Structure 1
Amino acid sequence: MTESSPARWLLLLQQLPAQPAYSRVKIWRHLQRIGAVLLKNSAWVLPANEDTREDVQWVAQEVAREGGEASVLEAQLLEGLDDAAVEALFVAARDADYHALAEEARALERDSRRTVRKEGLQALSAGLARLRRRLDEVARIDFFSAPGRETVEGLLGALDERIARAMSEESPQSPVAAVPEARPCGATWVTRRGIHVDRMASAWLIRRFIDPDARFRFVPGRSHSVGPGELRFDMFEGEYTHVGELCTFEVLLRRFGLDDGALVALGELVHDIDLKDSRFGRPEVAGFERLVAGIALNHPADEERLARASAVLDDLYAIFTKKPGG
């Protein structure tokens, strides 16, 4: 290993005695809390940094206290799985966490629609606070900015507004402004690297219908510092991102007053793929989802992904424009 090629990963190789069984559960839960993913058999992996080194050392000491053996290695991947494949394991694990949180948030939102008494609203507020704490816990181990976070942030933000309105006895309002915003001209639009369906479609929508001279930057989601005049979309704390049950594409449609039936139909496709809630159930979802997956698989560069997705979306838009009823 050379100085120009530092270790990318920490590997924990651990072996525990068969009994008592609760020791295995205890170590497994600890590994889950620090965000480790199982690479193979008893080999767990984490990205190498100062914080994760400390975390994995604590787990190794815990394994020893339980009568087991543990080794901690810093390594590069030379054969078999590559870095991108291991990153995908982390993204999938955190997306599963975010999906579970989103389902809890939706259940809480359904409860909020049935609750009018103050005591019930206070219980909902406590439930919302619990979900926010859990979201913070997941975000701390979201090493590669899994896309599911925006969905949960949007759901919790809308739920917070709903509870606040109910407690102050104000009439409900739309979570997205009814008055269309002025359309930017030649702005720099920023989103997370590794664009997938919502970011692909939103970038296409921006360039074709909102800001034809738009410039795009694809950045690390967690470490990007906002530059002057940049507009962030489909990323945490972005100017245009998930709101309640709306994906970013739908938010852009509403914020800029785009009520074209073909665009609404496209928004329904993007919504069902991105939020995975089958809300609209359009028959085109399965085919479009496979196309998006193919684009992401075959084109690692975001500019290439956007170009390929834009061609597909141009064709879909043409079909929905000509199709009676969108």
Structure 2
Amino acid sequence: MNSLSNSQAWRLLVVSLPTSAATARMRLWRGVKALGAAALRDGVYLLPDLPGLQDALQALAADAAGEDGRVWVLSVYATDMEQESSYRALFDRTSDYATWTQELATARAAIGDADEAELLRLARRYARSLEAIRRIDYFPDAASRRADAHWRDFHGAIDRLLSPGEPQGARGSTPRRDPGQYQGRHWATRRHLWVDRVASAWLILRHIDPHATFLWLEDVRDCPADALGFDFDGATFTHIGDRVTFEVLVSSFGLDEDRALSRIGQMVHALDVGGIPVAEASGFEAVLAGARERLSDDTALLDEIGRVLDSLYAHFARPRLR
């Protein structure tokens, strides 16, 4: 019986496998390690009782049972606050974050000499390794927040190298715009398009102003007075708060209910400023980087990547399978 009114429920996986089941033992070890389970002793593993973990634990139990193992999955509670604290301490990821942060700092110091391909590789590598820690950080605390801050700094430094002049998030709200007032307009942004700018230009053409024309600026100070600037400081449409320009445009023109645009926005956000990883992001980034190597003309780049975004839009718009 739970003796603590607000105690975390826990799951205990107890497994005894035959001596001959070496392969099954290795699968079990890999499985509990992937879940971040705490090994209390050989064959006894503790995890917090969370919805996302129950099916995974049952799958490990079923696999072990299928190898003639003896398996129990038990619900347990701490008997007092001291034991509760000791359980939670088993899942303290402070040292994992510290190791990651030290490695990130070493990489951060050397990025000035890296080429574009290496910068992208580093960004993907450290995003994946941070996400691997987050997945098993069941009780995030100050260490998690510090790691997030280091990641934002690192990602921002890479963005500034890949895309000089990246805007800072402005304060304020996003006013709703009348699409009828934004037809056949001139739109301007920084040349040498990268993730947020190329996606925003595609969004403008496909969903806001199909007769738009674009100016690719060497210097944003040369933006014509009659042009609608986007994705640079002081532009009509740029980062607001933690939202990137693509997300600001979606909200400004009342496109928030479009699920496919929302998914593309999540991808652009993850690539532009970091955040929750999106499965399709690394592939899109690789295609864009390759296209940018091949095409020096931003209009041609928009045309090619626009077709990629058309395909992603169709993919994200598909009805979800139940």
Q: TM-score, normalised by structure 2?
A: 0.48
Larger Rg belongs to: 2
Q: TM-score, normalised by structure 1?
A: 0.48
